[in-house]
Amino acid sequence: MANFSDFNMGIYLTGLSGQKPPFPLTYAGMEELAKSKLDPELYDYVAGGSGDEATQRGNVDAFAGWGVVPRMLSGAAERDLSIELFGRTYATPLMMAPIGVLGVMHESGHGDLEAARAAAATGIPMIGSTLMQDPMETVAAELGSTPGFYQLYTPNDREVAESLVRRAEAAGYAGIVVTLDTWTLGWRPRDLQHATFPQLRGYCLENYFSDPVFRSRLAKTPEEDRDAATFTWALMFGNPGLSWDDLQWLRDLTDLPLILKGICHPDDVRRARDGGVDGIYCSTHGGRQVASAPALGFLPGVVAAAEGMPVVFDSGVRTGVDVVKALALGATAVAVGRPYGWGVAAGGAAGAEHVLRCILAEADLTMGLNGYRTIADITPDMLVRLP
């Protein structure tokens, strides 16, 4: 049985012939490489967070508050990282979080396709954003046999929302992830200083511009008048009136697994569970939207309230050790965003695949060297609170 940590030894073996890794092996190194390739305004858009960015830093720092307790002589030479999620078996608990400007993060202008190719190569599911530079169907075609999920920013036009979900179903996506915390933009000083917001310039709107219902709302097609189409999107994107009263409508839109993203309070978990959703996505949007406590601090309460319902987690995940700690605190699956995004910017599909394999190798080694053989062995008692 192969271990994901074989990637680690493979680097040493190829090094015998003088071959070095094609990309950095740390988050900081990959971010720096990506920064050198990105327009400064786009870099700040991706790297930045809300307010003074304390929540963003807190999401990352929260992982340092936990340590892993080693167990010896446990027979963990071979590991099994597979999980069951929404009726499917996945080889790993890792997922690719949605990134709304992923398309323009690659020099080709097709970063969503590059990420999908990385998903196909690794078997790690990609959660494709509503805000894609290529239509969702084109992205899905690049996923190969790896399932993808479709993330929905619910527009205030219900018929457009329904059309987007129907298209995701037809394209073969394995679930719908509804983001709840972005019905308006948060206070983002970096973006405000640049006075820039990529979508207002017409970027990453192809899921709308290719949608027949959205196009029916336009006097001219996006090909004829992109500015007018972008303005129509801007009026439609925010949905401040979305409430628990709309949950039944969302549930009735699809038979696919429905996952609510941005849930952090146990009472909200219970309302979602009672409303028939299939999964909870505990996230603070990577600290991009609003000031809050670190997402990792919310995770145990969310898991307890979920009562066995799957919980996906993101926000602040940078390393394989972080993945293991989130699993120990109860996450069913763990999503990474900026890490693979920097990979796409630095090297397209190859860059993203490199990042994902680094994270998996480190998670696998963290489990094996600490004596934990399977995901079932990763429980809260393997962690200790650090001062």
Q: Is 215 annotated as a binding residue?
A: no
Residues sharing a CB contact under 8 Å with residue 189, sequence separation 6 or more, in sequence order: 48, 51
Q: Is 194 a catalytic residue?
A: no
- From residue 248, alpha-carbon distances to 242, 273, 277 in Å are 12, 12, 9
Q: Is 153 annotated as a binding residue?
A: yes
Cβ 68 vs Cβ 324: under 8 Å = yes
Q: Is 238 annotated as a binding residue?
A: no
Q: Is 273 annotated as a binding residue?
A: no
Q: Is 373 annotated as a binding residue?
A: no
- Residue 385: how many other CB atoms lie within 10 Å: 7
Q: Is 271 annotated as a binding residue?
A: no
Q: What is the DSSP letter of 374?
A: B
Q: Is 98 annotated as a binding residue?
A: yes
Q: Is 343 annotated as a binding residue?
A: no
Q: Is 354 annotated as a binding residue?
A: no
Marked catalytic residue, from 110, 194, 265, 285: 285
Cβ 365 vs Cβ 314: under 8 Å = no
Q: How far apart are CA 46 and CA 34, in angstroms?
A: 11
Q: Is 179 annotated as a binding residue?
A: yes
Q: Is 337 annotated as a binding residue?
A: yes
Q: How far apart are CA 204 and CA 224, in angstroms?
A: 17
Cβ 63 vs Cβ 57: under 8 Å = no
Q: What is the DSSP letter of 126?
A: E
Residues placed in the known binding site for FMN? 98-100, 129, 151, 179, 261, 283, 314-318, 337-338
Residues annotated as catalytic are 285
Residues placed in the known binding site? 45, 98-100, 129, 151, 153, 179, 188, 261, 283, 285, 288, 314-318, 337-338
